[in-house]
Amino acid sequence: MSTVQTDRKSNVAVEVTLAVILLIAVAPIAWTVFLAFMPNRNIVASDWQISFWLGNFATIFADGTFMLQVLNSIMIVLGSVAVCMVVGSLAGYALSRLHPPRWLTIPALIIAAFIPLIPPMTLVPGLYLLLSEIGLIGTVPGLILVNGFLNLPFAALLMSSYFSGIPDELREAALVDGASEAKTFLLVMLPVVKPGLAAVGIFTGILAWNEFQMGLTLTSGGETAPVTVGIAGLLQPYAVTWGEMAAAGTLAAIPIIVMAVFANRQIVAGLTAGAVKG
């Protein structure tokens, strides 16, 4: 391996090209953070006026609706992550280790394979009717269920691959020792797949936090909407609130990027597995 590394060390062109691409990857994020600390008149000015101003953040936090939307989003994230972890790990376990009857596995596999393929927007007319009928249209519980469901196929398939990685003897041993199926699952199998649960939790959490289409179409906006819809409301092509926009974008993006730095492994697992399967 070391010979391969010394071969590569000399290549300045590679490092420089990569550095340029990394700058392009980071530039829009950096530009947004930069503008978040500028008053509007500096942003629309035709020359470059640099300042450090916290007024944009103050305006956003003073807006009660925005804070309510942040709370909605947090509840949607917690709720849908819980749905994905509980229902997803049970389903993943059943698909990989138990042998449920065919009449149940076949619909499950169709759902798991089909849902990630179709544009969510095609489900919206039907979901709109469904939520209206059960009285959950425009509510946080309604969005928890929809978000949870949209991420369930990914959660189930990822958990199933983690469960498949456990040697079968562990389960057999627990059963032979007299543990019930439920106890074996909860006390023996689940603790082994903690890394899988972490990946599912972090990744579905990010997806639920980022979700926009369902929040837009299944709520009437305002105080019932998630924060993505609130931020979208600031986006007008000829808007004048550039600074507030940048501040809101910074507040929404930075926590996720910090997470991407510290939970890199789980997110990479989610991005590759989630994309392969969905």
Partner 1 sequence: MRSTVEESPRVREAARSREQRPERRKRSRSTPFAILALLPFVLFGLAFAAYPLFQVARMAVSDVQIRSGQFTWEFTGLANLRQVFSEGDSWQAVGNTLFFIGATVLLSLILGLVLALLVDRAVKLLPIARNVLIWPAVVAPVVVSLMWLLILSPTAGGLNKVLRTLSLPEQGWIADGPSAMAAIVLVDVWHWTPVVFLFLYTALKAIDASTLEAARVDGAKEVELIRFVVLPALKPAIAAVVVVRIIMGVKAFDEMYLLTRGGPDGATTLVSQHIKTLFFDNLELGEASAFSLAVVLATAVILGVFLFFRSKADAR
Binders of partner 1 in range 12-31 (CB under 8 A): 14-15, 17-19, 21-22, 24-26, 28-29, 31
Residue 51 binds partner 1, judged by CB under 8 A: no
CB closer to partner 1 out of 78 and 236: 236
Binders of partner 1 in range 77-106 (CB under 8 A): 86-88, 90-91, 93-95, 98-101, 104-105
Instruction: Supply the minimum distance, in Å, between the C-beta of residue 32 and partner 1.
Output: 5
225: left (phi over 0), alpha (psi -120 to 50) or beta: beta
Residue 38 binds partner 1, judged by CB under 8 A: no
Which member of 2, 48, 51, 64 binds partner 1 (CB under 8 A)?
Answer: 48
Region of 51-59, 61-69, 187-195, 232-240 interacting with partner 1 (CB under 8 A) = 232-240
Residues 2, 8: Cα–Cα separation, whole Å: 10
Region of 1-9, 49-57, 62-70, 191-199 interacting with partner 1 (CB under 8 A) = 1-9
Binders of partner 1 in range 107-166 (CB under 8 A): 107-108, 110-111, 114-130, 145-146, 148-149, 152, 156
CB closer to partner 1 out of 1 and 62: 1
Residue 260 binds partner 1, judged by CB under 8 A: yes
Residue 238 binds partner 1, judged by CB under 8 A: yes
Residue with tokens 């004048």: 240
Binders of partner 1 in range 176-205 (CB under 8 A): 176, 180-182, 185
**Any alpha helices (H) in the chain, and if so which ranges?**
2-9, 12-36, 40-44, 55-62, 64-96, 102-114, 120-133, 140-164, 168-176, 181-183, 190-192, 194-210, 213-218, 227-234, 242-262, 264-277
How many degrees, rounded to 5, is the angle at CA 259 between CA 193 and CA 90? 25
Taking alpha carbons only, the member of 252, 218, 199 closest to residue 144 is: 218
Instruction: Answer for the pair 216, 89: CB distance below 8 angstroms, yes or no.
Output: no
Residue 246 binds partner 1, judged by CB under 8 A: yes
Which member of 2, 5, 50, 52 binds partner 1 (CB under 8 A)?
Answer: 5
Taking alpha carbons only, the member of 133, 118, 130, 164 closest to residue 278 is: 118
Residues 150, 52: Cα–Cα separation, whole Å: 41
Contacts of 210 (CB under 8 A, 6+ apart): 228, 256
Rounded to the nearest 5°, which phi and psi values hold at 198?
A: -65, -45
Residue 74 binds partner 1, judged by CB under 8 A: no
Residue 241 binds partner 1, judged by CB under 8 A: no
Which member of 8, 52, 178, 191 binds partner 1 (CB under 8 A)?
Answer: 8
